[in-house]
Structure 1
């Protein structure tokens, strides 16, 4: 056997001697230890679940005795059992999992009757789940509730299946023990995920790691003599490579050995010969490679690497005020989505040509990333930089119109500021990037210069994102409702749900601050569902207060609207509460339509067929509003406040709104004017036949 191994290459010998030891030691020790630990923990978990059910049955037996003795009514006794095993019923129809019996991290009790109705459940109480199936069936549908009931009636037993973890999409293996309580006709179950019990088996990973280290040491000791035979020729190779680095290309005498080391030396010699023969060709291509390295292929402007080196060199010699300006094309992703990538590249090229034309000795431009350009200014303070940007904007607007570019292109501008002089490109870029983020948050098209307090604002934004997740769990968000009023009849026809947040740590946080931050994180999914269900729960109270025909409007972010789970969750929430869908109105913005038109049409069609109303919010703020209302079946459009502000003073605005209202009514859409604050605006709206308004003149958003 050893003689055969000696015929192998060095690579194979090292693999055999080193990794054979590692594999044998790690595999046998790890597998046996892990399986033993996991099996023991699983058995302990089954015992915990079984004892939990026994304990629950003992509690029921005691309560049944109290009922028989007349100490307590049956319904009260049953509710006491539920509160003891799970917790009291909450306003939203759920129960907290806070019983005294520990069934694991995600474990809890469930009680059914023999028909499959949820007698007790953390969040599905009252529903019939007779036909619920395993989420990961193996060989056909497995009706897990039926199996629990059958085993309970047979004297008790375990049911294993796969189920999703609450508030998480992960599907795990679950085990449930069931027994039947004949006096009340209850099937009492206790269940938890297998992972809750056997997770401790992961300790075996630590043991495996320790063994791995030992095996590695042994493996390297055994293979030391082979490694030494490799290093000697490699040292020779290293010395010749050092010479090659200095431009002295020499070859090495070939070795007699024919393994990888011998082939490596031969390969190195071949490489040296190829380098010598190719050096002239590389010199000829040097200019091409330089352009690839330092210039953007789409616009031919200098790229970020070139810009960095330029700035680092200029900082060494320039004693003037230096500033880095960032230019970010607003809504460039939307332009690409609507008009296509080729048109987007055309716009970039047009902008680059204009910037080259505007460039001079004190202003240098570069393309730093997708839709971000940079300008290096020397001798410009904040005031002078602001004036330069003003002139540049006019120059760009004029040139783009002449060149056939998009007439609505706008830019966010930021600069590193003249208060401090950074020592490197990275510092300039970081400061300008921070200012650019604030410009985008403020939707400010003017030049925004960096200030020190911007970092504090970013820190606050990060803190708000962290606290938002806790706020959902602590139910800190509340809903305020603003009325929609018919100005002819003074009747309240609807209300809009608007979220407010009183943070335990930061106090009241305005929606204009926390909504955009949540929208840019994964929290938006749980947050939207949380607010939506709260609004559905409030509908009965809203009707009592404002009338039976009042609708409640709920704002839905574009990324949520596309999710299949959103549509399913909404329908499920409406059905569970016995709500007529016609009283629910979903407000969406034009951002929803930037993407797959057919998919959006399908989603809107499904929701409207279900009975839910669809409203287009902030109408008139985008590029293609009239296009949208003609291609999509809607129920309502809401005129943005920026039009309403000047409707009583600007005849052109009034004429424009009159045309929009006539078109909308031609499609049989309801028109709502947002942000109405004065009687003059009311009279102007009456004159153009807009009767539904929403704004401070009638009510501010207020809690129920």
Structure 2
């Protein structure tokens, strides 16, 4: 072939290719348009179906709302009803939703999403347009529209009926419940349902016409699409054969190979929309991409159609089940038959997998299945659902529905955490979703309705509403059944009560009464066997009271059985006094040893109630047996309790009749005097003992007052208190001194009680008098000998033990100290040996009197024997003990005059302190005894503390007190002076006078040690006066030596500051030294000033008026009220050295110091810092603008001559 021919062939092929390509493009365009035409036809069909579904749903919702409103009276249903009508008639705007309207849930509708992310919006959203105008705009045919208008006319008529029903419901009055029941029957009646069915039939006819028309349009579009599809395929094959080089471009246009495109088209053409059409990434605009979109949209439409069909089927099934339930409610007359029928209808008619009803057991706090039906009910056997809300995560749907009083919906049973415990069973029985709805009775939850479905997400809004209505209907009928049952039980209880009370008053033996009671209860409760068991006189063994229906061998076996815990139901009830329920004797632990006997008698359950006397003492047990396992309900428990109570009344009445006869004999023969008077205290009865004591005959005392035996020796207060109590209606018990017929005074223990009639009015008094004269004298003598020393009359060791236990318990609660002192006389044996024991005894008696006189009233002294004594001192510390001991030593050391002898004795004492030295009397007395012997070893006529530490402290304190008393006289004190300098100039402004004490034996004693001792002993006043006077004299000497004026600061103790003569004393000292008041500064600690702020203000004002300056020492270590600080006449605050010491390393100390300086400035006060030892401390204080300082950085405290030299050097 020549090149020209080749070129011609190529050229022809090229142009032919172009032509074929053009035709291919045109066919492709037409094909796409045909697909879009299919989409438009399907969209029209989809919208038409949606409007029809909305019409169906709104009609159904109007019916359900009016029914719900009539049934519940909830105005929300009425409001929603009118809103639906307004939207449907174009009076209100349509909501913007993309699903069929569920009118009662419009606020929570979820908008569906298209695959491209856009919402499918109602094309009339937000507009006010009548629904039938919307149907016309949607393209409904005239014929379809006419059919719908007929349906609308019927619906409008039905609306008028519904509006009339709601209007009638608003009528109030005594017949309201009757009207509401009639309206409910009207809305569920045949006429209403037929009208509703007629409307729905017309709607279904219009729906079928619309479905036929839109389906035809869709099929026409699909047929056209198929023809264009074939043309497209033909030209595509031709194009591939002509132009291989165009393959790649064609590939990108198609988005896949021709085989793939062809396969996809075949699938779509055959109506297979389930399998997704895939295409390569980046080819979404290719033919395959459009085919995929088309397939996806067609699959969605098909899925929606299937879902809607399944939903409609489920709704229809539930409607049928609800209808069947309503019929059952009208037909069935008891709860036992109703609940199983409801469960069966829910499964068989409602299309559910399984249903069961659980009833709440308040005693066990669990829900137990009462009725069930469907797949998996075997798992409910012995099921008990605990509703205790300790951990909500452990609760399942039934418990949650019960506790929260609302339905629990589990749409995915296998993945819901609430059903985790039952996932395996759900997989076994095909449960894929479940619901638990509470059942109510008188507004209280009594159980749950539980249903299971084989479909996930089985409960949409419509189904939920139907099931809620279902549960409401069940609750209503349960309320009715329970009310009827309660009425029957109440009548039965009243009949039993009347019978028992009548028989109790009938004159007959106790065994006859109990037998009649048992037979009556058995007649009222068919199928039960009753028994009454009594508790023997010894209170341990069972005695048969009445059991006519029990076999003889069983009665013989339990008669004489010893009661105890777990001894059957009755044995346990009588032992514990608590009701005992054994619902299944074959498994109950209390019946293990008695089960063969019970089984032989045909007994399977036993409920036993203890019979309690009026004094709440167990006297028997009443039992009800059953021949099958049985759990008592509330009625049975109430009957048990009432029967046991009335049986107890009967038993006590019969026993009291016997007791009265015995009591009459006992009163007459009693060894105690017994008198009964009327309310005016005139004797109506007196027994033989009283008449014998009074020396009278009965006729002589009748009508007289019991005062005929008064001796006049009983205190008037006793009679006054007796009558106060009797007039209040209370019993009185006390001792009276009466004069008997034998002429002797006798002490009677009288017990007088008021006697009331049935109305509670006191009509008589009962007096029982026991002659306790001999007994009282004997008891008093025994008590005295048991608790007191026969020689001295002091408490002995036995009484001391009792008093010590009480004192130690008080000390333990109040955390107060307590001291035990053990002492005896030094060389007392010599007195006995030389002068005789009689003289020694007399001296011991005199010594006891001295010791008692020297002690406080609440202290205790006891004689152990011989010359040994123990003292018990409460609320004392070491120092107070010393004072008491010294007082006792002085009492002992005073001379004794015994007959012709003048005796001088000394004592050695040992001291133990609670709680440091022991927690009981034995330990404390032993330790005190050891300390006493140590005193004896160290010279006698002294005392010692038990522990070395306490001994040393006491010794040191005594040494300091004795030394301080002589320190002033022996001039052992001296003053040192520490310079106080100005921060601004560095010059000495003054000095703080500091007391120093050097003892020739004790050496240098720290002020921190001897100042508190001086304050406790009262020596601080003369010492403080010496300090003031010495400081003033020293100032005068410095002045005479040519030193300039300077300020001397002197510390005041708390005792000095509170002394009333302080201002006058200071003034005298200044005048004597000719020292200006402005040169003296008195330092007062923060704590002393705040102890009595008002008193401190008065003292400071007095000193201020005299021209004497005051400053607050150690500021920051105590507690100061700023309101009082402003009132204090002070001019300077001294910052305590504890804050200055760590001022460079502790941020808190720096903050405190800065705050004190700043506060002082704001109050117009100066500041001085003590304890300055480093340049860093000084620099910080300078930065904070502290005015004055003192401390070892400049100088230690100096003697007067050294201070004068330091002062002179600072001036140069």
Length-normalised TM-score, structure 1:
0.39
| Bigger Rg over Cα | 2
Higher relative contact order (CA 8 A, sep 6+): 1
